[in-house]
Structure 1
Amino acid sequence: MTVAIRVPLRIVVLVLVVPVRMAWDALVVAGRFLRDTVLRPLGRALLWVGKALFVWPSVGLWSYVLVPVGRALAWLGTVLVVVPALWCHRYVLTPLGHALAWVYARVLSPIGHAITWLLRGVGAVLAAVGTGVYTAVARLARHLLVVPARWLYDRVLTPVGRAVARCVRGLGRLLGLIGTGIGVALYWTLRVLLVLPALALRRRVLAPVGRFLAVVAREVGDALGHAWRIAGRISRALGRALGALFRWIFVEPVRWVYRTVLTPAGHLVRDGVLRPAAEGARVLGRAVREALTGARDTVRQARADLRRMLFGEPRQAAAVDRREPQGRAARTLGSSTTALTKD
C-alpha cells in the first residue's frame, strides 16, 4: 500500500512543486539583485541622511549647548544653593541643634524622669486596686455563670448532641448506600451505552483510519521534500541553461563587438584624432601663453615709458656702505675696551 501510494503521489507532487520552486528561485535572485543594487545603497544613503539630520545636530547640541548650559547651571546651583545651605547648616542649624540638645539634656530629661516616676507610682496603686476588683468580679462570674453553664453542658447538651450525632451517622450511612447503588447503576449504564461503543469505534474504525492518514501524511511530507529537492536541481539547471543562452546570445556578441570593433576603432580615434588634437591644443596653449607673456611685457614697458614721460626718471637711492668699520670704529670683541671688560 505504501509503494502504491508513494510513486503516484511523488509524480503529482513533483509536477505541482516544480513551478513553485522555479518561481521561488526567481524571487530569490530578484530579491538579491534588488538588495545589492537598490536597498543596500538606499539604506546607506538613508543612514547618512539620518546621521546628518539627527545624530550630528544632536551631538553638536549636546557638545556646544547642553554641556555648557549644564555647567553654568551647576555653577549657579553651587553658588546660589549649595554654598548658602552649607553656611546655614554650619552657622545656624548646628548651633541651634547644640542649644536644643543642651535644653533636652538639662531641662526636658529631668522633667520627663520625674513625670515617669510619678506615673509609675500612680500605675502601681491603680494596678493594686484593679487586681482586687478583678478577683472579686471573676469569683462572682464563676459562681453565677461558669458553674451553671458547665452543669447544663454536662447534664443536658452532651446527651442530646450524642443522640443527634448517632441519628445523623445512621442517616448518612443510609444515604451512602443509596448513592452507591445509584452510582453503580449509572456506571454500568454509561459503560454499556457509551464507553464500550466508543472503545469499539476507536479500535475498529478510528485507529485504522488514523494509521492510514499517518502513512498518507508521512508520504506526502516525504514527497514534498523529495519534489522540492528535485525541483531545486531542475531550477538550477534551467537557470544555468538560461544564463548560458543569455551569455551566448547577448554577452558574447557584445564582448566580440567590443573587442573586435569598438576597441580598434577607439584606438584609431585615439591615435589619429585625440592625440594630434591634444598635441595641437598643447602647442596652441603654449603659443597663447607666450603671446600673453609678450603682451604683458609690452604693456608693462609702455606703462614705464609713460610714467617716465609724465614724471621723469625716478630718483636713484643713495649707495650705503655696508662693510665693517675700520680702525677704532671696528668691533672690540677681543679687546678690553668694551663696556663689560674695561677697567
Structure 2
Amino acid sequence: MDLEKPPAHQPPDGCLVVAIRVPVRIVMLLVVLPVRMAWDALAVAARFLHDTVFRPAGRALLWLGRAVFVWPFVALWRWVLVPLGRALAWLMNVLVVAPCLWLYRYALTPLGHALAWAGRGIAAGLGWLYARVLTPVGIGIMWVLTGVGAVLAVVGGGVFTAVAWLVRHLLVVPAVRLYEWVLAPAGRALVWCLNGLAWVVRMIVTGIGMALYWTCRILLVLPALAVWRWILVPAGHVLAVVGREIGAALGHAWRVAGHISLTVGRFLASLFRWIFVEPVRWVYARVLTPAGHLVRDAVLRPVGEALRAVGRASRQALASARASVRQARADFRRMLFGGPRPGRTAVRREPTAAGTRTLGSSTTALTKD
C-alpha cells in the first residue's frame, strides 16, 4: 500500500507504529475513495459547465451590461454633457469671468493704487511724528526715571542690609542649631529602630514562605511532575504517533484515491468513446459523408448549375430589355424635340505664341529687319 519511499534520514519505525499504520491506511482509503471520486466528478462537471455554459453566459451578460449601462452613459457624456459643459463654460467666461476681470483691471486696481499712495503718506507722517516728537519726549522721561531709581537704590540698600542681619541671627542660626543637636539624632535613632523591625518582619516572612514553598512542592508540584512525566508525556507521544499516522494515511489515501479515480475516469471515457463516439464517427465517415457527397454531386450541383444558368439568362434578358427601353426613349425624345445641335467652336482670344528665336532673328528695334 505504501506508494512513496521513506526519506533516507528517517529512522526506522517500531512494530507499534507499523501495526497502527496498515489498518489506519486501509480505513482511510475506504473512507476517502468515494469522496475523491465525487470530488473529481464534480470538478469535471464544473469544468464542462464553465467551458460550455458559464463562460458564454458571462460574455453575453458582459456585452449586455455594456450595451445597457456603459454605451448609453458614454453617448450621454460625449454628445450631451461635453457640449453642454462647453456651452456653460463659454457663458461663464462671458457673463462672469470677463466682467470680473474688467472690474479688477479698471476699478479695483486704480482704487488699490490710490489707497496704497494714501497709506504711504500716512506712514510717512507717523514716522516723522515718532522721530521728531515722541522720541525726544521718551528720552526725557527715561532720564528722569533713571535719576529716581538711583536715589531709591541708595536708600533701599541700607534697609536691606539691616533686615538681612536680623533674619540671619533671629531665624537661620537657631534653626540650624535645632536641626544639628535635636532633629538629626532623633531621626537616626528612629531609622535604626525601623531597620531592626523590618529585619525581624523579613525573617518571619521568609520562614513562612519557605514552609509554604516546601509544603506546596511536596503536596502539589512533585505529584503533578510525576503525572506529567510518567502518564501525560507517554500518552501524548502515543497520541502524536496516532495523529501523525492518521494525517499521513489521509494524504496517502487521497493520492491513491486520485490514481484510482483517474483510472476509473479513463476507463469510463474509453467506454463512452467506444460505445458512443466511435460508432457515431464511423456512421458519419462511412454512411453520412458518402450519402452527402452523393446528394451533392447528383442533386445539389446540377440544381445549382441550372439555377445559375437561369440567373444568367434572366440577367441577359433584363439587360436587353433595358437597352431597348433606353433606345425607344431616345428615339421618342428625338422625334419630339429634334436632334442635338452641333456645338460652336470657341474663339481663342489669347495671343498666339511667338516663333522660336534663331541666330538670324531678333526682337529689338535696332536689330530687327
From 14, 36, 44, the equivalent of 2:51 is: 36
Structure 1 residues 147 and 69, CA gap change in structure 2 (3 angstroms): farther
- Per-residue deviation, 1:155: 3.4
CA separation in 2, counterparts of 1:97 and 1:70? 42
CA separation in 1, counterparts of 2:305 and 2:26? 74
- Per-residue deviation, 1:157: 2.6
Superposed CA deviations along residues 28-60 of structure 1, whole A, max 9, x for unmatched, are: 223333333344444444555565534894698
Structure 1 residues 302 and 22, CA gap change in structure 2 (3 angstroms): same
The residue identity in structure 2 corresponding to 1:191 is R
Task: Report the count of equivalent residues.
Answer: 334
Q: Which residue of 2 aligns with 1:331?
A: 352
TM-score (norm 1): 0.76
Q: Which residue of 1 aligns with 2:316?
A: 290
CA separation in 2, counterparts of 1:222 and 1:99? 99
CA separation in 2, counterparts of 1:263 and 1:156? 133
Structure 1 residues 173 and 332, CA gap change in structure 2 (3 angstroms): same
Between stretches 271-280 and 33-42, larger displacement belongs to: 33-42
CA separation in 2, counterparts of 1:25 and 1:59? 48
CA separation in 2, counterparts of 1:42 and 1:127? 104
TM-score (norm 2): 0.72
- Per-residue deviation, 1:171: 1.6
- Per-residue deviation, 1:313: 3.9
- Per-residue deviation, 1:95: 5.1
SS at match of 1:161: helix
The residue identity in structure 1 corresponding to 2:353 is T
Say yes or no: does 1:318 pair with 2:342. Answer: yes
CA separation in 2, counterparts of 1:159 and 1:89? 88
Say yes or no: does 1:6 pair with 2:6. Answer: no
Q: Which residue of 1 aligns with 2:181?
A: 155
- Per-residue deviation, 1:179: 0.7
CA separation in 2, counterparts of 1:275 and 1:8? 73
CA separation in 1, counterparts of 2:263 and 2:116? 93
The residue identity in structure 2 corresponding to 1:279 is E
CA-atom RMSD, angstroms?
A: 4.3
% identical aligned pairs: 50
CA separation in 1, counterparts of 2:237 and 2:286? 70
Superposed CA deviations along residues 308-332 of structure 1, whole A, max 9, x for unmatched, are: 66xx24253134236989xxx9723
Structure 1 residues 314 and 134, CA gap change in structure 2 (3 angstroms): farther
The residue identity in structure 1 corresponding to 2:104 is P
Structure 1 residues 259 and 174, CA gap change in structure 2 (3 angstroms): same
Aligned ranges 1:1-343 → 2 under 5 Å:
1-48=16-63, 53-54=69-70, 57=73, 61=77, 64=82, 68=86, 80=100, 84=104, 87=109, 91=113, 102=124, 106-108=128-130, 122=145, 129=152, 132=157, 141-304=167-330, 312-321=336-345, 331-334=352-355
The residue identity in structure 2 corresponding to 1:17 is V
Structure 1 residues 254 and 141, CA gap change in structure 2 (3 angstroms): farther
Q: For structure 1, list consecutive stretches of 5 or more residues without a partner in the other structure.
A: none
Superposed CA deviations along residues 84-131 of structure 1, whole A, max 9, x for unmatched, are: 389579846765775576567655577786687656974896598477
Between stretches 131-140 and 22-31, larger displacement belongs to: 131-140
